[in-house]
Amino acid sequence: MKPGYIIGNRYKIIRSLGEGGMANVYLAHDLVLDRDVSVKLLRLDLRDDPQTKKRFQREAMAATQLNDPNIVGVYDIGEEHGMQYMVMQYVEGTDLKKYIAQHYPIPLPQVLNIMEQVLSAVESAHEHGIIHRDLKPQNILIDQNKNLKITDFGIATASFDNSLTQTNTLVGSVHYLSPEQARGSVATKQSDIYSLGIILYELLTGKVPFEGENAVSIALKHFRDQIPSVTKVNSQIPQAMANVVYKATAKDPKERYASAKEMAADLRTSLDESRQNEAPFHEQDHCNDETKVLNLDEIKRAQRESQPADQALPERDPGQNHTTQDDDHPSNHATQSRGKYRRWIISGVIVAVIAVAFCGWYFNRLITVPNITGMTATQAEKVLAKRHLRVGNITRTTSKVVAKNHIVAIDGSERVRFGRSVDIVLSSGVKSYQMADFVGESYADTARELRNKGFTVKKVAVYSNKVDEGTIIKQNVSAGSVVKPANKIITLKVSKGERKIKIPNFKNVDLNEVQNFANKNHLQLTVTKKSSSKIAVNHVISQTPKAGSKLSENDTLTVQVADTGANLKTTNIQINIPFDGNGGKKENRVQVYISDAYHNLTMEYQDITINQETTINVPFTLRNHEMGAYKVIRNGKTIMSATNITG
């Protein structure tokens, strides 16, 4: 679609915004309402495909049902020359995937704000019976004010309509796909909750939890592998916030949050101090392959039932005479003794097997590691001993929130075998850095490096004719200084590039006003004279360059002013004013007085404030054989003067 093409006699195409597998998106202007919009146009090669047309129509129907500030609004749908199109709200910004890549690590309060907006939009869709089924950062737009909007309901479906789900086809983006979708089952609200958990994981860690060689291998991991620990990626993430990720991504949909609203409520308090010592979330184990302690009576009963009939002990008839000769026969007694002995052996073996099995289970069972974060190694050793565990290898890491020699995290699984050791990570306190010299370096790269180390970076942008745009001019912390990120804000003065000054229309303007403009913007002013019967004396007749043009500092602005015809001549004098920094002064007030054909030394010509050595240009308009004069007063004291200015 070429720029300038008008769709529906209303939407004028400006440029392409992106191309997708189903449709292309363009920036357009609504000629009726005079606003920018985005137009999604079904691709030409797919317009005859019934499945694609149905999906496109389904997105339009789903989006038009929703009226939520965090969901991209649909203004219009239509068809032109066989091309289906949808007109939507234009969001100027980027998608959340690119935002994470550009701004990671994202401060935790901002993560909460992002997720609250997304969860609110998903809850609104679910309340209308619409399941998105393809939630991912690429489908979440973020504008310059950090407002989020969900888009692309192309594979959304009504929660009560199962006919739109193909059980033999994976629908959705594989990195954010729920286990039930990966198996081809019907998507539910909990499927969207799972995708939201993966999005939260990516916001906290900067990456997706599962990668693979192809889509199938990634899908398999979603329903076989546990979500990796977010606290191992970033130990500063509170356990309560990590638990939100784990609960949202539970393999069993029943163990996930019942709604996006419930997930938002849990996430909202995850940074509260009251949840600081929260235990890790563990999904219920639905496997049935753990070692069991069997009931002794059940084992004996099963043993009797499995014994062959010809080996079973004979049952006695209650009416039979038990004093017969056979009962008293020695062989019968021997048989009975052997039977009792055999039963004792069998019972003993069973008890021994049970005892061995019990011991094997007891001394090999998995034990949940207690929460020892924040403790010293000595304290942790006592707590672990109560669970028949012990402290293992100790490693160290810097931490901004955990005191020195206190535990930051456990290094390993949260469940270990009886009697085993637990590896721990101890805090070595806040890391200190020796500040480098960043002058002349790129601000973007430097700021990213400093923020990754935990510093707060402040940018002060200034114009510069000597330093390229985006390059650091000055830093507030001297190179070589040793500082801790938590204790110092790094302020970097950065070049905005050469300042361009837009020249106004000076025609018929008094020369003094032109001179003030030139002085304020550090321009060289050249004045020529010309007799005029239409323009007042000392007012501008013409100018170079023309109005609307742009000049850089120290460029020349030339004006022609009206004269009475008297023999006058204008000359420019440069006055170099030194800066006085004694006593810690940061600014000097400077007043300039001049004497020429239009001024005298009793009238103030210019009043400026300087923070460095400054050169000003002063035009003197002199008659023949007359001389001009000037004096400069800095901070109330005359520091220079001259009385011999000639044309």
Q: How far apart are CA 227 and CA 242, in angstroms?
A: 11
Tokens at residue 612, please? 């460095």
What is the number of other CB atoms lying within 10 angstroms of the CB of residue 168?
5
Cα-trace Rg, the chain: 41
Q: How far apart are CA 560 and CA 543, in angstroms?
A: 6
Q: Counting Cβ atoms within 10 Å, is residue 359 exposed (0-12), middle (13-18) or buried (19+)? A: exposed
Q: How far apart are CA 635 and CA 583, in angstroms?
A: 13
Catalytic residue among 30, 68, 95, 134: 134
Residue among 433, 446, 436 at smallest CA distance from 488: 433
Q: How far apart are CA 513 and CA 80, in angstroms?
A: 59
Q: How far apart are CA 540 and CA 128, in angstroms?
A: 69
Largest CA distance in the chain: 167
Total residues belonging to the chain: 647
Q: From residue 35, how far is each of 60, 64, 148, 258, 638 by CA, in Å? A: 21, 19, 20, 40, 59
Tokens at residue 525, please? 């002013």
What is the torsional sign of CA 334, 339, 342, 347?
negative
Q: Does residue 76 have an active-site annotation?
A: no
Q: Which residue has the tokens 């594989």?
A: 174
Q: What are phi and psi for residue 77, nearest 5 degrees?
A: -135, 150
Q: Render the burial of 585-609: b for 16+ CB within 10 Å, e for the rest.
A: eeebebbbbbbbebbeeeeebbeee
Tokens at residue 524, please? 């060289």
Q: How far apart are CA 243 and CA 225, in angstroms?
A: 17
Residues 6+ apart with CB under 8 A from 479: 435, 436, 437, 438
Q: How far apart are CA 20 and CA 46, in angstroms?
A: 12
Residues 63 and 38: beta-carbon distance below 8 Å: no
DSSP character for 161? -
Q: How far apart are CA 96 and CA 93, in angstroms?
A: 10
Q: Counting Cβ atoms within 10 Å, is residue 309 exposed (0-12), middle (13-18) or buried (19+)? A: exposed
Q: How far apart are CA 515 and CA 621, in angstroms?
A: 12
Q: How far apart are CA 223 and CA 532, in angstroms?
A: 89
Residue among 208, 284, 203, 273 at smallest CA distance from 247: 284
Angle between helices 239-248 and 189-205 (to 10 degrees): 140
What is the torsional sign of CA 121, 122, 125, 126?
negative
Q: From residue 563, how far is each of 531, 538, 546, 598 by CA, in Å? A: 5, 6, 21, 12
Q: How far apart are CA 310 and CA 333, in angstroms?
A: 19
β-sheet bridge partners, residue 516: none
Q: How far apart are CA 548 and CA 545, in angstroms?
A: 8
Q: Which residue has the tokens 């100790």?
A: 394
Tokens at residue 428, please? 């070595």
Q: Which residues are catalytic?
A: 134
